[in-house]
Amino acid sequence: MKLSPSVLSADFTNLGEQIKIVDEAGADYIHLDIMDGQFVPNISFGIPVIEAIRKVTDKPLDVHLMIEEPIRYLQEFKDAGADIITVHTEACTHLHRTICRIRELDMKAGVALNPATSVNVLNYIFDDIDLAVVMSVNPGFGGQTFIPGMLDKIKRIHKIADDKGLKNLEIEVDGGITLNNIAAVVDAGANVIVAGSAIFHDDIKANVKEFIKRMY
């Protein structure tokens, strides 16, 4: 089980400090949401912010690209310090080429599925990805409510991974995860939990520790 706190909900005036807190409290990855105002109706932050974050943590940077045709920028994200790159199937004309390019650049490759997207898009690429990312909200904003129907999608991917013997496939779930629904998400088969608004408030260290406790 891994926890990947999403800094989208962090206090950006205090970003370095807050990343150190989640790092030291036991976060496995640091989840960075990149939004282009095109694929999703919001703009977040870009390459210089990733470079700055790279300097304050050694944890793998789990970069979630909510941008159109991300293949155009993979080298830049690699150079900025990304370890894992997740792209959206809905944003890639040539998804297979995109994930192959991510691996060629020596990063882990993830594919994210919007809530309405079928698991079938992964059928022919399971061997080419390191992470399947189930979006449990419509991407674009932190603090939204978990869509319960996504539990079935997590279960389906978990079953396929089992049947195919894909022991290393990470099943990441992103959006609306709280202390109240994390158990259901883990039971469904998720092994990487993203959480933003439920972690970056009040006592961040205590929140991370509580999440980790509930993950097992």
End-to-end CA distance of the chain: 7
How many residues sit close enough to Zn ion to count as binding (CB under 5 A)?
3
Question: Which residue in 62, 130, 174, 187 is the catalytic one?
Answer: 174
Which residues ranging from 144 to 173 are in contact with ligand DX5 (CB under 6 A)? 144
Question: Which residue in 28, 33, 36, 62 is the catalytic one?
Answer: 33
174 is catalytic: yes
61-66: strand order across its sheet: 2-5, 192-195, 170-174, 131-135, 108-113, 84-88, 61-66, 30-35
Is 86 a binding residue for ligand DX5 by CB under 6 A? The answer is no
CA distance 104 to 123: 21
33 is catalytic: yes
Is 8 a binding residue for ligand DX5 by CB under 6 A? The answer is yes
Among 57, 87, 90, 52, which Cα is nearest to 72's? 87
Nearest distance from C-beta of residue 65 to ligand DX5, angstroms? 10
Which listed residue (59, 64, 88, 153) binds Zn ion by CB under 5 A?
64
Which residues ranging from 185 to 214 are in contact with ligand DX5 (CB under 6 A)? 194-198
Nearest distance from C-beta of residue 176 to ligand DX5, angstroms? 5
Cβ–Cβ < 8 Å for 130, 170: yes
Which of Zn ion, ligand DX5, none interacts with 177 (beta carbon under 5 to 8 A by kind)? Answer: ligand DX5
Number of neighbouring beta carbons within 10 Å of residue 104 = 11
Which of ligand DX5, Zn ion, none interacts with 197 (beta carbon under 5 to 8 A by kind)? Answer: ligand DX5
CA distance 47 to 106: 18
Helix (H) or strand (E) segment spanning residue 92:
none
Q: Which two tokens mark 154?
A: 């997590």
Footprint of ligand DX5 (CB under 6 A) = 6, 8-9, 31, 33, 64, 137, 139-144, 174-177, 194-198
Footprint of Zn ion (CB under 5 A) = 33, 64, 174
